Homo-oligomer: A and B are copies of this chain.
Amino acid sequence: MKPSKQLLNDILEEVRPLIGQGKVADYIPALAQVPANRLGIAVCYNDGEIIQAGDSEEGFSIQSISKVLSLTLAMTLYEADEIWSRVGKEPSGHAFNSMIQLELEQGIPRNPFINAGALVVSDLLHSRLSAPQYRMLELVRSLACNPDVAYDKDVAASEMQHSDRNAAIAYLMRAFGNFNNDVVPVLGNYFGYCALKMSCVDLARTFSYLANKGMPLGTDTPLISPTQSKQINALLATCGLYDGAGEFAYRVGMPGKSGVGGGIVAIVPGEMSIAVWSPELDASGNSVAGTAALALLAERIGRSIF
């Protein structure tokens, strides 16, 4: 059953009262300024139809959602072993920016969706692409069917000014031999990816390939193979929501990825990709109203991978 626009509107109104219960990310000024009352949703069916409600065309900082895109790009450039010898596939059981496990496990990050793992993936992209930020932008514009998608340079600059923790993570991996390029330019690219400004509609279209066995919307050239698409969905289901993946699986039952900008992308394999946005976050860093909206949607349309 495709959700109707009315259903999406109903869901947004049902979760709107949750606004006020979370906390907008404030670790960089550029994110702290985002109005807390934004709320949007977009669903992209595999046939290309978009259903949307609320602030679904307003751009926001996708932040960690970009980690799925950089992993995808790396999977098009490297053999599986080249990636998975440098980053694991397991949930971390720790906060997204923790270094404790990274030290105990000799510089091998637990998975590609915590900061350390995404930095290794960025390091991989840096080694093989002459202009990784340009290539990423090209990819995202194509996936989103929107040539206007762009980096938010203020956000990227603000991230770079507050980059000490990520620099520490990258240097620790370098010390363990798991980071091959200079730290600063890789951080620059990484913050660029995080600073991509996209709307719910952009994101729902972009991630359609994960609902459609690796095939991007409106093309007949696969971006990745059906097996790779399943693998990414599997990683999203176990590791996609920071230290809240279990709760998200329990409540929503779809592979998903969140960002501290308040966006969440979720996948119903074979059917649709979904994007929600509401800036206030819970203690794990996931959008409060966004998670609730996805849980309601899953229930109303009877979709869950479980």
Interfacial chain B residues near A110, Cβ < 8 Å: 93
Q: Is residue A220 within 8 Å, beta carbon to beta carbon, of the partner chain?
A: no
Contact B255 A235 (CB under 8 A): no
Q: Knowing A104-B100, A269-B306 touch, does A92 contact B93 (C-beta < 8 A)?
A: yes
State the oligomeric state as a number of copies.
4
Q: Does A11 contact B (CB under 8 A)?
A: no
* Chain A interface mostly: helix
Stretch at the interface among A2-10, A17-25, A196-204, A236-244: A236-244
Please name all residues of chain B whose beta carbon is closer than 8 Å to the beta carbon of A90 when the two chains form the complex.
91, 93, 243-247
CA distance A94 to B111 in the complex (A): 14
Contacting residues, chain B, for A104 (C-beta < 8 A): 100
A-side interface size class: 35 or more
**A245 — which chain B residues lie within 8 A by C-beta?**
90-91, 238
Q: Which residues of B contact A98 (CB under 8 A)?
A: 103
B238 touches A246 (CB 8 A): yes
Residue among A89, A92, A175, A244 with the highest chain B CB neighbour number at 10 A: A175
A37, CB-defined interface residue at 8 Å: no
A305 beta carbon closer than 8 Å to chain B = yes
Residues of B within 8 A of A167 (CB): 167-168, 171
Interface residues of A in 239-259 (CB under 8 A from B): 239, 243-247, 249-250, 253, 255
Comparing A65-73, A129-137, A144-152, A226-234, the segment that makes contact with chain B is A226-234
**A218 vs B276: C-alpha distance when bound (angstroms):** 41
Contact of A174 with B by CB under 8 A: yes
Rounded to whole angstroms, the CA-CA distance of A290 and B169 in the bound complex is: 36
A78 CA / B98 CA spacing, docked (Å): 33
Interface residue A142 (Cβ < 8 Å from any Cβ of B): no
**A35, CB-defined interface residue at 8 Å:** no
List, in ascending order, chain B residues with CB within 8 A of A249's CB: 89, 234-235, 237-238
Instruction: Give bound CA distance, A234 to B250, whole Å.
Output: 5
Q: Could you tell me the distance in whole angstroms from the C-beta of A154 to the nearest C-beta in chain B?
A: 21
Closest to A92 in B: B93
Given contacts A89-B250, A90-B245, A93-B110, 16 further A-B contacts (CB under 8 A): A89-B246, A111-B246, A167-B168, A168-B170, A171-B171, A230-B304, A230-B306, A234-B246, A234-B253, A235-B246, A235-B249, A235-B250, A237-B238, A238-B238, A238-B246, A269-B305
A-B CB contact pairs (8 Å), 13 listed: A91-B246, A92-B93, A93-B94, A99-B172, A164-B174, A165-B171, A168-B175, A230-B253, A231-B306, A234-B253, A234-B306, A237-B249, A239-B246
Query: Taking beta carbons and an 8 Å cutoff, which residues of A are in contact with B?
Result: 88-94, 98-101, 103-104, 110-111, 164-165, 167-172, 174-175, 229-231, 233-235, 237-239, 243-247, 249-250, 253, 255, 269, 304-306
